Amino acid sequence: MRNRDSLIRLHRFQVDEKRRKLAELELMLQEFRARERELEAQVLAEQEKAGISDVAHFAYPMFAKSVIRRRQNILNSIEDIEHQLSVAKEELASAFRELKKYELIEDNRKRRHRKEAMRIEQAELDEVALGIHRRG
C-alpha cells in the first residue's frame, strides 16, 4: 500500500515539476518577446532620427545595426524557447497520463476493497438476521 502511495506521490511531484518548468519557459518567452518589441521600437526610432532605413546604406547608424543584431539573437532565443516549450508540453502531458494511470489503478483497488468489505459486512448482517429469525 505504501509503495503505491509513494509511486503516486512521485508521479504527482514529477507532474508539478514539469508544470513549473513549463511556466518558467512561458515566462521566459514573454520576456524575450517584450525585449524583441522594445528593440524593434528602438530601431524604428533610430531610423527616424537618421532618416535612413536601408541597413546597407553607408551612413546607417551603428547603434541601429547593433540593435538589429541583438534583436536577431533574441529572435533565435525565442525560437529555441518555443521548441523547448513544445517539448515541455509533451513531457507534461506524458507525465500527467502516467499519473492518471496510477491513480485509476489505486481508485479501482480501493473500490474493490470497499466492495469486498461491504460484502463481508452484509454476510455478517445476514448471519445475525438468520440467527434472530431462528430464535424467534
CA 70 remoteness from chain centre: 29
The pLDDT assigned to 119 comes to 95
CA–CA distances in Å: residue 40 to residues 30, 64, 65, 88, 100: 15, 10, 11, 29, 45
The pLDDT assigned to 60 comes to 62
Rounded to whole angstroms, how far apart are CA atoms 136 and 134? 6
The pLDDT assigned to 48 comes to 77
71, 39 Cβ separation under 8 angstroms? yes
The pLDDT assigned to 54 comes to 64
Identify residue 7 by its one-letter amino acid code.
L
pLDDT band at 56 (very low <50, low <70, confident <90, very high): low
The answer, yes or no, to whether residue 111 has pLDDT greater than 90, is: yes
Which of 1.10.287, 1.10.150, 3.40.50, 1.10.3470 would CATH assign to domain 2-135?
A: 1.10.287
The answer, yes or no, to whether residue 46 has pLDDT greater than 80, is: no
Rounded to whole angstroms, how far apart are CA atoms 32 and 75? 8
Query: What is residue 55's DSSP assignment?
Result: T
50, 67 Cβ separation under 8 angstroms? no
Each residue of 67-108: pLDDT tens digit?
Answer: 888 889 999 999 999 999 999 999 999 999 999 999 999 999
User: pTM higher than 0.75, yes or no?
Assistant: no
The domain locations on the chain are 2-135
Name the phi and psi angles at 55, rounded to 5: -60, -30
The answer, yes or no, to whether residue 14 has pLDDT greater than 80, is: yes
